[in-house]
C-alpha cells in the first residue's frame, strides 16, 4: 500500500510555481494576483482563506483579502464582485463558501467573471470542462488529477466509482475521469445517497473517489483488494481524549481500508493540501492568459 502524499506533492507544485514567478519577475512583468472575498467569521473558512494567503506569499503572488460582515446584503456582495471583475490588476479571485442565508450562492458564483473564476465554479467553465475545452478545473478535482498523474496510477479502462455528486467534487470528477486522456479514459459510476446496494458497486471499483462528508463511510469490506482510494472528506469529530477536543476524520475508514488498498490518501495530508496548490496553478494560468491577451492587443 502506498500513501498518496498530498502534502509533499503540494509543496512540489508550489516550488514549481515559485520558479515560474521568478522568471516573470526577471522579465519585469506583473506577478499573478489572487484575491478572496470572505463573508462572516466562519472558523473553517477563515482557516482555509488564511492558508491561501500564506501560500501566495510563499510562491511570490500578490494577494488581497476582502472581509465582509455576516449581515452583508446580496447586492453589496455583487457590487464587490463587479469591482474585482473590473480590476485589471487582479488575475483571479474566489468567493469563500458557505455564504449566509440571505445570499443566493449560485447567483453570486454566476456573477464572477469566468476569466477570473479560478475556483472553476462558473457555468461557463464547468461547461467547457465537460466539453474537454480549455477552462479552469475546480481546484479539488484538479488536485486529484494531479495526484493520480504524479503517482502514475493507471486510469485507462479502469472502473472508477465516485461517491457524492456535489458540483464542487463529485460531478466534475465523474466527467474528468471519463474524459479522453490521462488521467481519464475510465468507466465511471456516479453514486449518491439514493444508490441502492452501494457495496455491490464499490466492491467492483478499481478507483474510488469519495466526497460525502460522512466520517468512516467507506469500510474495508466495501472495496476489492488493490483498489485506489481517494478520500476528499474532512470532518471534525468530537473526541474528549484529543488535545483540541476533536479529531479530523475522512470519509474512509482508513485503518481497515488501507489494509486492502494499493494507494490511499490520508486525512489530513492527502487531497486537502492539493486544493490550495491547484488554486495557485489556476491563478498562474489566468495571469498567463491575461498577459497574452494584453500583448496581442498591442500588436
- What CATH number does residue 76 fall under? 3.40.50.10860
Q: What is the DSSP string of 140-207?
A: HHHHHHHHHHHTT---TT-EEEEE---TTTHHHHHHHHHSSSSS---EEEEE-TT-SSHHHHHTT-SE
Q: What is residue 295's predicted lDDT score, i.e. its pLDDT?
A: 86
Residue 203 contacts residue 223 (beta carbons within 8 Å): yes
- Which residue range is the domain that position 79 belongs to? 30-113
Note whether 144 and 38 are same-domain residues: no
Interval 266-280: pLDDT, tens: 999 999 999 999 999
Q: What is residue 183's predicted lDDT score, i.e. its pLDDT?
A: 97
25 domain residue, yes or no: no
Note whether 108 and 68 are same-domain residues: yes
* Residue 47: pLDDT band with limits 50, 70, 90: confident
195 domain residue, yes or no: yes
Which residues, at least 6 apart from 138, have a Cβ–Cβ distance to it below 8 Å?
119, 120, 121, 168, 169, 172
- Bridge partners (DSSP) listed for residue 247: 237
Would the annotation count 58 as a binding residue?
A: no
Instruction: Out of 5, 96, 116, 251, pick the active-site residue.
Output: 96
pTM of the model: 0.94
Instruction: Confirm whether 119 is a catalytic residue.
Output: yes
Note whether 56 and 167 are same-domain residues: no
Rounded average pLDDT over 71-80:
97
Note whether 56 and 143 are same-domain residues: no
Note whether 220 and 169 are same-domain residues: yes
Domain end, chosen from 113, 147, 171, is at 113
Instruction: Confirm whether 52 is a catalytic residue.
Output: yes
Instruction: Confirm whether 106 is a catalytic residue.
Output: no
Would the annotation count 164 as a binding residue?
A: yes
122 domain residue, yes or no: no
Which residues, at least 6 apart from 39, have a Cβ–Cβ distance to it below 8 Å?
68, 69, 70, 72, 77, 95, 96, 99, 100, 103
Residue 162 contacts residue 209 (beta carbons within 8 Å): yes
Note whether 88 and 170 are same-domain residues: no
78 domain residue, yes or no: yes
Would the annotation count 250 as a binding residue?
A: no
Would the annotation count 10 as a binding residue?
A: no
Interval 100-123: pLDDT, tens: 999 999 999 999 999 999 999 999
- Dmax (CA) for the chain in angstroms is 66
Note whether 230 and 157 are same-domain residues: yes
Interval 20-45: pLDDT, tens: 999 999 999 999 999 999 999 877 78
- What CATH number does residue 147 fall under? 3.40.50.720
4 domain residue, yes or no: no
Total domain count for the chain?
A: 2
121 domain residue, yes or no: no
Note whether 257 and 172 are same-domain residues: yes
118 domain residue, yes or no: no
Note whether 169 and 83 are same-domain residues: no
Q: What is the DSSP pairing of strand 246-249 with strand 235-238? A: antiparallel
Note whether 164 and 240 are same-domain residues: yes
Instruction: Out of 5, 14, 52, 117, pick the active-site residue.
Output: 52
Torsion sign across C-alpha atoms 252, 255, 257, 262: positive
Torsion sign across C-alpha atoms 33, 18, 130, 268: negative
Note whether 106 and 164 are same-domain residues: no
Note whether 172 and 255 are same-domain residues: yes
Q: How many CB atoms lie within 10 A of CB 6?
A: 25
Residue 146 has pLDDT above 80, yes or no: yes
18 domain residue, yes or no: no
* Residue 46: pLDDT band with limits 50, 70, 90: confident
Task: Look at 39-48, 66-75, 155-164 and tell me which has the smallest mean pLDDT.
Answer: 39-48
Instruction: Out of 91, 117, 119, 253, pick the active-site residue.
Output: 119
Q: What is residue 113's predicted lDDT score, i.e. its pLDDT?
A: 98
Amino acid at each position: 500500500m502506498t500513501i498518496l502524499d498530498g502534502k509533499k506533492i503540494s509543496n512540489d507544485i508550489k516550488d514549481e510555481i515559485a520558479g515560474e514567478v521568478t522568471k516573470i519577475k526577471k522579465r519585469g512583468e506583473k506577478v499573478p494576483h489572487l484575491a478572496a472575498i470572505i463573508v462572516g467569521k466562519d472558523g473553517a473558512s477563515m482557516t482555509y482563506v488564511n492558508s491561501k494567503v500564506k501560500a501566495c506569499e510563499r510562491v511570490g503572488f500578490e494577494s488581497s483579502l476582502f472581509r465582509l460582515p455576516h449581515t452583508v446584503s446580496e447586492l453589496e456582495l455583487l457590487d464587490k464582485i463587479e469591482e474585482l471583475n473590473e480590476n485589471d490588476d487582479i488575475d483571479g479571485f474566489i468567493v469563500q463558501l458557505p455564504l449566509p442565508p440571505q445570499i443566493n450562492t449560485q447567483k453570486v458564483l454566476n456573477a464572477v467573471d469566468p476569466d477570473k473564476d479560478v475556483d472553476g465554479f462558473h457555468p461557463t467553465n464547468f461547461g467547457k470542462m465537460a466539453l474537454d475545452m480549455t477552462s479552469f478545473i475546480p481546484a479539488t478535482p484538479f488536485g486529484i488529477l494531479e495526484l493520480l498523474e504524479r503517482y502514475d496510477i493507471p486510469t485507462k479502462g479502469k472502473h472508477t466509482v465516485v461517491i457524492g455528486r456535489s458540483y464542487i467534487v463529485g460531478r466534475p470528477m465523474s466527467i474528468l475521469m471519463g474524459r479522453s486522456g490521462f488521467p481519464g479514459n475510465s468507466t465511471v459510476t456516479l453514486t449518491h445517497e439514493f444508490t441502492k446496494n452501494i457495496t455491490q458497486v464499490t466492491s467492483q471499483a478499481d478507483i474510488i473517489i469519495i466526497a460525502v462528508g460522512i466520517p468512516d463511510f467507506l469500510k474495508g469490506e466495501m472495496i476489492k483488494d488493490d483498489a485506489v482510494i481517494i478520500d476528499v472528506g474532512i470532518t471534525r469529530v468530537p473526541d474528549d481524549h484529543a488535545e483540541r477536543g476533536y479529531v479530523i476524520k475522512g470519509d474512509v475508514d482508513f485503518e481497515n481500508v488501507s489494509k486492502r488498498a494499493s494507494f490511499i490518501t490520508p486525512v489530513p495530508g492527502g487531497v486537502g493540501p492539493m486544493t490550495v496548490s491547484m488554486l495557485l496553478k489556476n491563478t498562474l494560468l489566468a495571469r498567463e492568459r491575461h498577459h497574452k491577451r494584453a500583448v496581442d492587443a498591442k500588436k
